[in-house]
Amino acid sequence: MKIAIAASEAFPFCKTGGLGDVVGALANNFSRNPNIENVVLFLPKYREIAKTAFSPKKIQGNYFVPVGDRKENVNLYFVNWGKVNVYLVDNPKYFDRPGLYRSEQGDYIDNDERFIYFSRAFLEGLKFIDFKPDIISTHDWQTGLIPAYLKTLYLFDAFYAKTKSTFTIHNIAYQGFFNKDTFVKAGFSWFDFTPDKLEYYGGINFMKAGITYADAITTVSPTYAKEICENPQIARGLEGVLNYRKDHLYGIINGIDTQIWDPATDTFIYRGYDLKTYWRGKPYCKKMLQKEVGFEQDKNKILAGCVSRLDWQKGIDLIAEVSEEFFGKIQFIILGTGEKEIAQKLKTIASSNPKDLIFIEEFNEELAHKIYAGSDIFLMPSRFEPCGLSQMIAARYGTIAVVTKVGGLKDTIFYDPDNLLNSNGFTIETPTKENLRSILGHIISIYSSKEIWSNIVKNAMKTDFSWERSISEYLNLFMSLQKK
């Protein structure tokens, strides 16, 4: 089987969040699977790729793709990344910029054109390198037009006669909704500008295009798959089209890279540990983290960590609001960047309570590792969460996740108040201050009971968060598509 992946980010080349981690992991894991002959991954050649250790080589020749009434040039660059052949789509006008999608002033105003261009450069690029894929795997709104092109402009193209497409929803909150001019730039026929096809409230929605036209739609957890069909607040207007395509929608949980996120070999943390050495390693990591960030080194205080984008989605405002009631018993360390209002709220609390809440407004990979290792609990009271990686990382480091029972959090963190022996974390039913307050109170009451706590830690560290099972679910899906 030959797979071509198109995405707007993939670690370790370019990343803004979970999407990048997951695309990188999928490409890498697919390429090592014996059932897969070949994997190619197309990414935009962003400016930030030059900062990585890779040295892309220019492929001889070039080609053009239409964007509106113009023809835009494409140069392809190649990187050999393990068994994955990575192709970087180069056009400095679109991608030689400081950010992937936005600058300090906000989203780039030509994001529609940038990803129309990228999608078309991908489909023509596979011909240019003569790679005829069995499966085209696309991700989030930036590549949502590709399945639509395959079923419209490329419908009778012999090169893609046997190709099936999948569209993976990593976060339905970002849809790529543009006006009618964008529809024109994308080059579709007016015949397809209808509500059952590409039209969306008088414009075009790239995510809807992916959902409508892909041979299969996947999303990153079984619970999120259900929620986006049933809950309009989560689906944000796309519940109708998802329900229409429900029979082709699959929820496949993400994994984490268990080599990068391994407390036994992690070189960022103060001392490595595994399940057996947890009782020595964890207290040391906690003590050192307390020292590094400026907390009192008190082993009896619960250290609550949070590493997150500052976004309404993540419920960080709830943490801010309840935190003060627990000062003296819980130390809060929050690492995150994002919305200014949330950051301001945290700064205000931190400045008047420096012994109890520390807020670090940075994107800091090393400190993130130290927080995962040094904290006792990890707070993630998300309002919605397609999958979430942080709760799995925390669990692997024996840091007990405190999460809302939504999306992938519900599928990965299990809490039975009547049987803590079966729990690997703590959950709240809904993201409210009352629920968060009550679970933190409960955690304080059981934290001192070594036996109960160590059982939850063991369950957390032993939970299987590896990619293996998910990769085989993707493969089964790809094989079933090939038979159709």
Nearer to ligand ADP by Cβ, of 43 and 76: the residue is 43
Question: Please, what is the minimum distance in Å from the beta carbon of residue 454 to ligand ADP?
Answer: 25
Question: Please, what is the minimum distance in Å from the beta carbon of residue 110 to ligand ADP?
Answer: 24
Nearer to ligand ADP by Cβ, of 14 and 121: the residue is 14
Of 125, 144, 176, 336, the one binding ligand ADP (CB under 6 A) is 336
Nearer to ligand ADP by Cβ, of 121 and 389: the residue is 389
Q: Does residue 477 bind ligand ADP (CB under 6 A)?
A: no
Nearer to ligand ADP by Cβ, of 201 and 363: the residue is 363
Tell me which residue of 263, 475, 253 sits closest to 386, measured CA to CA. Answer: 253
Q: Going by C-beta distance under 8 Å and a sequence separation of 6 or more, which residues neighbour residue 132?
A: 2, 126, 159, 160, 162, 163
Of 130, 196, 247, 365, the one binding ligand ADP (CB under 6 A) is 365
Question: Please, what is the minimum distance in Å from the beta carbon of residue 342 to ligand ADP?
Answer: 12
Nearer to ligand ADP by Cβ, of 37 and 366: the residue is 366
Could you give phi then psi for residue 73, rounded to 5 degrees?
-75, 145
Token output for 364:
């800091």
Nearer to ligand ADP by Cβ, of 40 and 342: the residue is 342
The span of 110-118, 209-217, 345-353, 362-370 binding ligand ADP (CB under 6 A) equals 362-370
Site for ligand ADP in 67-126 (CB under 6 A): none
Q: Does residue 368 bind ligand ADP (CB under 6 A)?
A: yes
Token output for 239:
């519940």
Nearer to ligand ADP by Cβ, of 208 and 369: the residue is 369
The span of 141-149, 234-242, 359-367, 425-433 binding ligand ADP (CB under 6 A) equals 359-367
The one-letter amino acid at 200:
Y
Nearer to ligand ADP by Cβ, of 38 and 364: the residue is 364
Of 172, 198, 318, 335, the one binding ligand ADP (CB under 6 A) is 335
CA distance 106 to 284: 42
Site for ligand ADP in 380-409 (CB under 6 A): 388-390
Nearer to ligand ADP by Cβ, of 231 and 337: the residue is 337
Minimal CB distance residue for ligand ADP:
18
> Alpha carbon of 279 to those of 265, 282, 286, 397, 450: distances in Å?
16, 6, 11, 12, 11
Nearer to ligand ADP by Cβ, of 91 and 382: the residue is 382
Question: Please, what is the minimum distance in Å from the beta carbon of residue 24 to ligand ADP?
Answer: 12
> Alpha carbon of 280 to those of 276, 277, 374: distances in Å?
9, 6, 12
Question: Please, what is the minimum distance in Å from the beta carbon of residue 427 to ligand ADP?
Answer: 16
The span of 196-204, 335-343, 457-465, 466-474 binding ligand ADP (CB under 6 A) equals 335-343
Task: Kindly write out the interface string for residues 309-328 of this chain, putting x where it contacts ligand ADP by CB under 6 A and - elsewhere.
Answer: x-------------------
Nearer to ligand ADP by Cβ, of 214 and 392: the residue is 392
Question: Please, what is the minimum distance in Å from the beta carbon of residue 339 to ligand ADP?
Answer: 13
Of 364, 455, 466, 482, the one binding ligand ADP (CB under 6 A) is 364
State yes or no: cis peptide before 66, omega within 30 of 0.
no
Site for ligand ADP in 252-311 (CB under 6 A): 307-309
Question: Please, what is the minimum distance in Å from the beta carbon of residue 140 to ligand ADP?
Answer: 11
Nearer to ligand ADP by Cβ, of 364 and 466: the residue is 364
Of 1, 2, 17, 284, the one binding ligand ADP (CB under 6 A) is 17
Q: Does residue 337 bind ligand ADP (CB under 6 A)?
A: yes
Question: Please, what is the minimum distance in Å from the beta carbon of residue 334 to ligand ADP?
Answer: 9
List residues near ligand ADP by CB under 6 A: 17-18, 307-309, 335-337, 363-365, 368, 388-390
